[in-house]
Amino acid sequence: MENVVNPAVKPANPAQRSWQDRTAFVTGATGLVGSWLVPALLERGARVVVLVRDHDPHSHLIRSGTIARTTVVNGKLEDLADLERAIAGHGVDTVFHLGAQTLVGPALRDPLGTMESNVRGTWNLLEACRRQASQVQAVVIASSDKAYGDVPTLPYTEDTPLRGQHPYDVSKSCTDLIAQAWHHSYGTPVVIARCGNIYGGGDLNWSRIIPGTIRSLHRGERPGLRSDGTFLRDYVYVEDAVSAYIAMADALDGGSAQAGQPAPASVAGQAFNFGPGAPLSVLDVVAAITRLMGREDLQPIVRNEARAEIHDQYLDSTLATARLGWKPAWDLDAGLAPTIAWYREYWGARG
């Protein structure tokens, strides 16, 4: 698979309503995906409003200077008033809800904080959208493959029941179900993304396998693995995730019909899986990083101490291809190369 230059910022269809007519609100904007989604929206001409709880100077959105091109609303997901103020006060018509506590380990240690952020935060966001239904036309919700839980049959399809068992997985199952409830009960124009493990430059959560391995090798240290290394996962490069979120927003907007063709059936209330179609073991990913960084001499330390983690998870993305025209544009090597370069620049800039 060959990488494409900036696939996330190319309009998928000239028939779609111009993003220059749209005001997008992004929660979780200073996180990994948000830091790449915001510039993609700005590149398309959208006005972007971002929710920022804490100013993190290491966030890619802030370090790149992109945040200066946005309207910043200081607030938190747990406060409904903050969210409604952002949406109503800035004329938002398109919402990307990416904000969440995103790590399995912290969720296990602090389940209440995770539920407050991921579950209360989601219903607050959707309630703010419901109250501003006259202007909100599209709501894209970030769920996760973790929402499916541990099931005997893989890959997950969109019809696989949501059966999270551990705190993080349950919080994503709830996120997903709450979004569906607001759609079916109130007509909120929601679409849900269930992505595999997203990686790319700007992820400073060092407990994750890709940034943690890159940091260890950069320091000349052997990377450590929480698991036994055989766990299978989908690894989605961040620009593929961005293109997925934008494709969903475009489809919700109702402008995805080709000229002279009938409009497609609405995707409102639909969930879509996004994965590369080639699950990899943790050991496969570490081997690719050590090869690309020229550090095959630093073999991983297998600790095999993972708790509350599902052994194998991977997705069938057929529906996203059929309904949204989405396909991954980056294979692992193509995505890891700019990711490694980002971290090297980051550490170089810090001195």
3 three-class SS: coil
Residue given tokens 């000229």 in the structure block: 259
Query: Is 148 annotated as catalytic?
Result: no
- Please state, in angstroms and rounded to a whole number, the distance separating the CA atoms of residues 11 and 314: 28
193 three-class SS: strand
Could you say which of 148, 156, 168, 245 is catalytic?
168
Q: Which two tokens stand for residue 108?
A: 């296990």
Beta strands in the chain (DSSP E): 23-27, 47-52, 71-74, 94-97, 138-142, 190-195, 197-199, 224-225, 232-233, 235-237, 271-274, 280-281, 301-302
**DSSP class per residue in 198-260:** EE-TT---TTSHHHHHHHHHHTT---EESS-S--EE-EEEHHHHHHHHHHHHHHHHT--PPTT
Provide the annotated active-site residues.
168
